[in-house]
Chain A
Amino acid sequence: MRYLPLTDPDRRAMLATIGVKNIDALFRDVPASAQLAKPVDLPFHQGELEVERVIMGFAAKNLSPATAPCFLGAGAYRHHIPASADHLIQRSEFLTSYTPYQPEISQGTLQYLFEFQTQVALITGMDVANASMYDGATSCAEAVLMAQRVTRRKKAVLSGGLHPHYRDATRTLDESAVLAPADPDGVEDLGALVDDTTACVVVQNPTLFGHVRDLRPLAAACHAKGALLVVAVAEIVSLGAITPPGEMGADIVVAEGQSLGVPLSFGGPYVGLFATREKFVRQMPGRLCGETVDADGRRGFVLTLSTREQHIRREKATSNICTNSGLCALAFCIHLTLLGEAGFAGLARLNHAKAGQLADKLAAVPGVTPLNKTFFNEFAVRLTKPAAAIVEALAAKGILGGVPVSRLYPGDTSLANVLLLAATETNTEADMDRLVAALKEVL
């Protein structure tokens, strides 16, 4: 077996050194009734070629966006990943290292985490960011708990433009969170729901339905009552084009970072971003990297403020989160470093223009009614037929034609005909024309 270096003579010699007759003697603390006499009923070991064949068999039964024009978004976006980003994250020293508990021999990980924290703080317009969370949805849930710690209040109000997965992950941790009705038209005003018991209001920008909202009035309404404004960003590339949440009064910004450097991979692993104001840093969940010096006075980095964390504080920790999403944070960091100021803004402009082009083409299709006056790279349309059936019909033609809102709001018949469509730099005009032609046939 190729992953096991011990030979039988090694094993015999080692058992002799230990002073036992056989391996069973080392398992003697296991109750006899629970010891398996032989391997479980599963296939035996196989070579690389044979295993690869099995996995390729699974892949062959899927429709790959590499071959089918893909207009799906709703919290996960198909972007081009630079070749160097995927290469660099596979460097052994990044891929196969542990959490940087020994800073003297982990400066590589620690320095990129410091750069990552800086990047996240800059693009969100916030003071500080942590070293990542599991994904956007879990970041969102943790933000609500943090707002409750900061304000010592309970009530959380969740916008009807918030991704239902973010909403549900939050509700799993806080069953009392107040849900606003779905807001496909981007017109909700949550200010009236904020009162003296409100810990926070959570809104997504752009919303699930793609609307770009000015959050300043809501921020003012929150702050007037002592509540925090939590802003979720599901498409991080949008921050290259839109006024960042920090500038609009957000107290906590949570985001899904998948769009930069991280493959779609059927929904995970992704990377949650989490940023806040300096004054709240000690209430923030997750790992933090900080700058310091070594015994020779040279700059170095360490994990810090760990007195918030579970391995020190146990049941008094701010969160139970331990491992975060280090390698995805690295992919994000590399991609954003490649983009830089000019590239990040340029990529955002390109996405916005592609979506504008798609929206203009779709607006001319009979049976398609656009719902958005504003959007970044994703928008909603109302069809004359149920969107789920249309999406299936498009898939039969080899086109991944958007996300039917009914999949996220299964009970709401008023949304049955609403379809979300996204366009990114990966969509060509030919893709768009194919979608338009196919839609005309199936509508």
Chain B
Amino acid sequence: MLNRQGRPTAPGNDNGTAITTFTGNRGLDHEELLSFEQDAPGRCGVDLPAPPKTTERLGGLARRDAIGLPGLSEPQVVRHFVRLSRKNYAIDSGLYPLGSCTMKHNPRLNEKAARLPGLGDLHPMQPVSTVQGALELIDTLAHWLKTLTGMPAVAMSPAAGAHGELCGLMAIRAAHRARGDARKKVLVPESAHGTNPATAAFCGYEVESIPANEEGRVDLDALARALGPDVAAVMLTNPNTCGLFERDVIKVAELTHKAGAYFYCDGANFNAIVGRVRPGDLGIDAMHINLHKTFSTPHGGGGPGSGPVVLSEALASFVPVPYVVHDAKGFQLVEHEGAGGHSFGRLKGFHGQMGMFIRALTYMLSHGADGLRQVAEDAVLNANYVMASLKDVMTPAFEGPCMHEALFDDRFLKDTGVTTLDFAKAMIDEGYHPMTMYFPLVVHGAMLIEPTETESKDAIDTFVGALRHLAERAKAGDKERFAAAPLLAPRRRLDETRAARQPVLRWKPPAPAQAAE
């Protein structure tokens, strides 16, 4: 249909996905070369003043060769990274149901706070007298974390969850050593995050895996049998990676302590219980808190995170340096312990992930004690609602209510020829980031869905509708469509085998063309 100027007024009937374009672009989705492929020698995206005239003091070690960095102007750089950004899925653009990762809304107030002059620009080695507000902020965040967990102490410096695990286990090792008790083993349930056994091994411990029972919880009898005088610690995730609360957690703590071991809790799923349950009331000795999960500091495409570790009285004196103390002169930073100190040492440079502390405290102040409790309740409500809305077409892995994430297995795909991976990739074409797949390992073809508390009922209803549709299509025998998915993303499935067999880990300039004779 054309208007009077000959301009079409209605779209045609072409199958859009079949179109190929001259540029390779697809409308708003632009193909983008590497920055290295946009080089013009001498071009630059910054202007610098002429240096003052001085003598060179590099001891004859001045760089002689060109580095090989590309030259781009500022508009090119901005366009390059904006185009790249548009190839990413993000929580700001859609529901991100990645179980165990807690992809919740990241408030922009937190970003603003972290950039305030007097916080974002502080040098870590400024005299302590000039950073009293910064130390007070760290102390305030520590107070919130201790109050929410019911624990007496917290180590603030770990840079991420896995780093927090390392901190907790090193404190445990130091505590055993202080008693002259060298223990060799750490018990880890088989449903644990991969970081748990990796961390225990990293600390020099032998790792013994404890099986899950039929209800997706740790097998208490197996745990009791494995406990003994050579066990240093039990590492348990609670709520666990099946999205279930470990009902026997208090019993686990008792058994662990009776064996002279310490009880480490992976706090990755604290989001489910914050404000309603205090880990300190469960007999836990150490627990890391992923500020980038429960307390909403942005995931940033893979960090930076922050993983403070709350500690029981028994472990409190083994905290890493540095830590903040308060005395008559104000806030002090203990960077070195004198003789008689028990600290196991230092984990990283400077004082911890201050930028993340500011964001997390801003988030906590926004929600308050009442709001954080509501966070846990809404997170659990949303997950159970997803479970209830899908249980007739997908197969929940375990009976009963879940906590903040709903775990399904692949029984509903039996005989359809569609795998968990295919199912997840088909979600991409429906506009969703897939859920966590094939984890936890205790469930076949696992699909772990964590909607978080920041999704509305409408958003979840649409998401549920999409999953129901996909489940029905899988059962209807539409397996080719699943095997080909995704078709509507910036890329189709990538060849990971080739990437691993012939690793290309950096750009290299193309070989120069043969000179003409």
Tell me the minimal C-beta distance from B390 to chain A in angstroms: 11
Q: Does B195 contact A (CB under 8 A)?
A: yes
Please indicate the chain A residues that have their CB under 8 angstroms from the CB of B69 in the complex: 119, 122-123, 336, 339-341, 344
Report which of A41, A60, A321, A373 forms a contact with B147, defined as CB distance below 8 A: A41
Tell me the minimal C-beta distance from B237 to chain A in angstroms: 14
Tell me the minimal C-beta distance from B416 to chain A in angstroms: 21
Q: Does B18 contact A (CB under 8 A)?
A: no
Q: Does B517 contact A (CB under 8 A)?
A: no
Q: A4-B378, A54-B365 are in contact. Are A62 and B119 (CB under 8 A)?
A: yes
Contact call B91/A323, Cβ cutoff below 8 A:
no
Q: Does B136 contact A (CB under 8 A)?
A: yes
Q: A29-B401, A62-B131, A350-B48 are in contact. Are A304 and B298 (CB under 8 A)?
A: no
Q: Does A249 contact B (CB under 8 A)?
A: no
20 CB-based A-B contacts, threshold 8 Å:
A4-B453, A6-B381, A23-B381, A26-B403, A29-B401, A29-B403, A30-B247, A44-B368, A44-B369, A55-B116, A91-B82, A98-B98, A172-B320, A212-B58, A239-B63, A243-B63, A327-B303, A341-B66, A343-B44, A395-B127
Q: How large is the interface on A (under 10, 10 to 19, 20 to 34, 35 or more residues)?
A: 35 or more
Contact call B77/A337, Cβ cutoff below 8 A:
yes
Report which of A58, A82, A94 forms a contact with B133, defined as CB distance below 8 A: A58
Q: Does A290 contact B (CB under 8 A)?
A: yes
Tell me the minimal C-beta distance from A408 to chain B in angstroms: 8
Chain B residues numbered 79-117 whose CB sits less than 8 Å from any CB in chain A: 80-82, 84-93, 96, 98, 101, 103, 105-107, 109, 111-117
Q: Does A78 contact B (CB under 8 A)?
A: yes
Please indicate the chain B residues that have their CB under 8 angstroms from the CB of A129 in the complex: 505-506
Contact call B350/A165, Cβ cutoff below 8 A:
yes
Contact call B194/A314, Cβ cutoff below 8 A:
yes
Chain B residues numbered 256-293 whose CB sits less than 8 Å from any CB in chain A: 273, 275-278, 281-282, 292
In angstroms, Cα B369 to Cα A4, docked, is 14
Please indicate the chain B residues that have their CB under 8 angstroms from the CB of A104 in the complex: 425, 428, 486, 489-494
Contact with A along B113-139 (1 / 0, CB 8 A): 111111111111111011111101100
Contact call B275/A395, Cβ cutoff below 8 A:
no
User: Closest residue to B500 on the A side, CB-wise?
Assistant: A304
Please indicate the chain A residues that have their CB under 8 angstroms from the CB of B499 in the complex: 290-292, 302, 304
In angstroms, Cα B115 to Cα A90, docked, is 12
Q: Does A115 contact B (CB under 8 A)?
A: yes
Contact call A290/B348, Cβ cutoff below 8 A:
no
Q: Does B412 contact A (CB under 8 A)?
A: no
Tell me the minimal C-beta distance from B126 to chain A in angstroms: 6
Contact call B362/A55, Cβ cutoff below 8 A:
yes
Q: Does A369 contact B (CB under 8 A)?
A: no
Contact call B506/A114, Cβ cutoff below 8 A:
yes
Q: Does A88 contact B (CB under 8 A)?
A: yes
Q: A27-B276, A269-B356 are in contact. Are A45 and B348 (CB under 8 A)?
A: no
Contact call B277/A337, Cβ cutoff below 8 A:
no
Please indicate the chain A residues that have their CB under 8 angstroms from the CB of B372 in the complex: 39
Which of B72, B137, B250, B292 is packed against the most chain A CB atoms within 10 Å? B137
Q: Does A437 contact B (CB under 8 A)?
A: no
Contact call A292/B278, Cβ cutoff below 8 A:
no
Contact call A96/B302, Cβ cutoff below 8 A:
no
Please indicate the chain A residues that have their CB under 8 angstroms from the CB of B308 in the complex: none
Q: A78-B121, A114-B34 are in contact. Are A305 and B503 (CB under 8 A)?
A: yes
Chain A residues numbered 220-259 whose CB sits less than 8 Å from any CB in chain B: 239-244, 247, 256
Contact with A along B297-335 (1 / 0, CB 8 A): 011111111100000000000001000000000000001
In angstroms, Cα B207 to Cα A59, docked, is 45
In angstroms, Cα B134 to Cα A17, docked, is 47
Contact call B507/A118, Cβ cutoff below 8 A:
yes
Contact call B92/A93, Cβ cutoff below 8 A:
yes
Contact with B along A129-170 (1 / 0, CB 8 A): 101101111100000000000000000000000010110110
Stretch at the interface among B6-14, B159-167, B222-230, B470-478: B159-167
Q: A55-B119, A59-B118 are in contact. Are A92 and B90 (CB under 8 A)?
A: yes
Q: A39-B369, A266-B124 are in contact. Are A62 and B134 (CB under 8 A)?
A: yes
User: Closest residue to B157 on the A side, CB-wise?
Assistant: A268
Which of B107, B292, B384, B486 is packed against the most chain A CB atoms within 10 Å? B384
Q: Does A176 contact B (CB under 8 A)?
A: no
Contact call B131/A55, Cβ cutoff below 8 A:
no
In angstroms, Cα B305 to Cα A132, docked, is 13
Tell me the minimal C-beta distance from A224 to chain B in angstroms: 22
Closest 9 CB pairs of A and B: A267-B350, A61-B133, A327-B300, A267-B124, A356-B54, A59-B118, A269-B304, A353-B51, A326-B302
In angstroms, Cα B313 to Cα A43, docked, is 25
In angstroms, Cα B93 to Cα A432, docked, is 48
Please indicate the chain B residues that have their CB under 8 angstroms from the CB of A356 in the complex: 52, 54-57
In angstroms, Cα B439 to Cα A310, docked, is 13
Please indicate the chain A residues that have their CB under 8 angstroms from the CB of B361 in the complex: 55
Contact call A45/B368, Cβ cutoff below 8 A:
yes
Please indicate the chain A residues that have their CB under 8 angstroms from the CB of B51 in the complex: 349-350, 352-354
Contact call A97/B89, Cβ cutoff below 8 A:
yes
Tell me the minimal C-beta distance from A363 to chain B in angstroms: 12
Which of A51, A271, A300, A346 is packed against the most chain B CB atoms within 10 Å? A51
Which of B39, B81, B498, B500 is packed against the most chain A CB atoms within 10 Å? B81
Contact call A36/B121, Cβ cutoff below 8 A:
no
User: Closest residue to A72 on the B side, CB-wise?
Assistant: B123
Contact call A136/B349, Cβ cutoff below 8 A:
yes
In angstroms, Cα B371 to Cα A279, docked, is 52
Contact call B127/A320, Cβ cutoff below 8 A:
no
Tell me the minimal C-beta distance from A438 to chain B in angstroms: 14
Q: Does B78 contact A (CB under 8 A)?
A: yes
Contact with A along B194-206 (1 / 0, CB 8 A): 1101111110000
Tell me the minimal C-beta distance from A42 to chain B in angstroms: 4
In angstroms, Cα B195 to Cα A428, docked, is 47
Q: Does A197 contact B (CB under 8 A)?
A: no
Please indicate the chain A residues that have their CB under 8 angstroms from the CB of B455 in the complex: 5
Tell me the minimal C-beta distance from B299 to chain A in angstroms: 5
Excluding A96-B298, A103-B496, 8 further A-B contacts by CB distance (< 8 Å) are A42-B148, A72-B126, A104-B489, A106-B301, A137-B349, A266-B134, A341-B69, A395-B127
In angstroms, Cα B303 to Cα A121, docked, is 21
Q: A98-B299, A108-B85, A212-B59 are in contact. Are A40 and B92 (CB under 8 A)?
A: no
In angstroms, Cα B506 to Cα A115, docked, is 7
Tell me the minimal C-beta distance from A416 to chain B in angstroms: 14
Tell me the minimal C-beta distance from B274 to chain A in angstroms: 9
Please indicate the chain B residues that have their CB under 8 angstroms from the CB of A293 in the complex: 494-495, 498
Tell me the minimal C-beta distance from A296 to chain B in angstroms: 5
Q: Does B353 contact A (CB under 8 A)?
A: yes
Chain B residues numbered 32-67 whose CB sits less than 8 Å from any CB in chain A: 32, 34-36, 39, 41-46, 48-49, 51-67
Chain B residues numbered 476-492 whose CB sits less than 8 Å from any CB in chain A: 484, 486, 489-492
Contact call A243/B64, Cβ cutoff below 8 A:
yes
Tell me the minimal C-beta distance from B446 to chain A in angstroms: 13
In angstroms, Cα B492 to Cα A91, docked, is 24
Contact call B302/A138, Cβ cutoff below 8 A:
no
Q: Does A316 contact B (CB under 8 A)?
A: yes
In angstroms, Cα B488 to Cα A115, docked, is 25
User: Closest residue to A68 on the B side, CB-wise?
Assistant: B130
Chain B residues numbered 349-373 whose CB sits less than 8 Å from any CB in chain A: 349-356, 358, 361-362, 364-373
Which of B67, B123, B276, B298 is packed against the most chain A CB atoms within 10 Å? B123
Q: Does A46 contact B (CB under 8 A)?
A: yes
Q: Does B74 contact A (CB under 8 A)?
A: yes
Report which of B278, B381, B459 forms a contact with A36, defined as CB distance below 8 A: B278
Q: Does A374 contact B (CB under 8 A)?
A: yes
Tell me the minimal C-beta distance from B47 to chain A in angstroms: 9
Report which of B46, B92, B120, B347 forms a contact with A92, defined as CB distance below 8 A: B92
Q: Does A100 contact B (CB under 8 A)?
A: yes
Which of A54, A59, A256, A425 is packed against the most chain B CB atoms within 10 Å? A59
Contact call B401/A322, Cβ cutoff below 8 A:
no
